[in-house]
Each structure stands twice: as structure tokens, then as C-alpha cells.
Amino acid sequence: MRKLATAAVVAGLFLGGAGAAVAAVADSWHKTPAFRDPGVEFAQVKYLWEPKGRNHGGFHFRGTLNDTDHGDGHNVYVEVKVEGYDWNRFKGVQRKKVSLDKVVWDGAAQYTSLAEMRACRDRGTLRPDNCSDPRTFSRKGR
């Protein structure tokens, strides 16, 4: 009887571990091609939809933001928008390459399933900024 109970516990632990491994794969980082537009590049981009219990269930991204036109005098930035919310701006540094690792979240964002991202060059107040085409990212399973 003890052997049967032990076998049942071991089987339960094994199946529970397999379920956790599948969940970990679903929550892994995903790569996307670089965002490019004249004067700006956001490269080595990875993103992850956080589960509800971690980082507020937000849209997590990381990458390297680069000012590719050092002589233009303009700054660069990345904008991220989670479904139902406005754009969030993450600034770079002129004539430099900076690493970004950010989470876009709000209390209700954990229930959203879409996010958009684009890289832009800030051309000042008189001229419109130029931005890469936005890309849409969806949360799996929704």
C-alpha cells in the first residue's frame, strides 16, 4: 500500500513539473526583427507578456536603441502602446547606443492582449518625428 501511495505522489510531482515546464516555455522571450527608420535603430529586440502574478502582467521588452545619424542633432526614442492605453515613450541618448529593459503595465493591462511598438527620431517641434512602422504583438491564448 505504501509503494502505491509513493508511486502516486511521484507521478503527481512529475506531472506537476511537466505542467510548470510547459508554462515556462509559454512565458519565454520572443525575438522580433530590428526596428529601423532614418536616424534610429532598435535592435536585438525581445519581448515577453508577463503572467498576472509577475511584473503586474505587463508587456516586457528589451533591446538596444541606437542613434544612427550622429550629425543630425536629434534624439531617438521607442514608443510602446498596450491595448486601450496611450503611447509610452522611452528615450535614448544622442549619438549613443543604450540598452532598454522596460515593462509597460497598468492595473488592467494584465487583461489586455495586444501591444504595439515602434522606434522614432525626435525631430523637434517644427517638424514631425519619423517613426518605423509599428508592429503588433499579441498575448498567446487570448
Let me know if residue 43 belongs to a domain. Answer: yes
pLDDT at 20: 41
Let me know if residue 8 belongs to a domain. Answer: no
Q: Are 122 and 73 spatial neighbours (Cβ–Cβ below 8 Å)? A: no
pLDDT at 25 over 90: no
pLDDT at 26: 52
79-96 average pLDDT score: 93
Let me know if residue 42 belongs to a domain. Answer: yes
Let me know if residue 11 belongs to a domain. Answer: no
Tell me, what CATH number does 109's domain have? Answer: 2.60.40.10
Q: Between residues 12 and 75, which one has the greater pLDDT?
A: 75
Number of domains in the chain: 1
pLDDT class of 61 with cuts at 50, 70, 90: very high
Residues spanned by the domain of 82: 29-138
pLDDT at 49: 93
Let me know if residue 6 belongs to a domain. Answer: no
The residue among 115, 119, 134 whose CA lies nearest residue 48 is: 115
The residue among 122, 137, 121 whose CA lies nearest residue 33 is: 137
What's the burial of 106, exposed, middle or buried (CB within 10 Å: 0-12/13-18/19+)?
A: middle
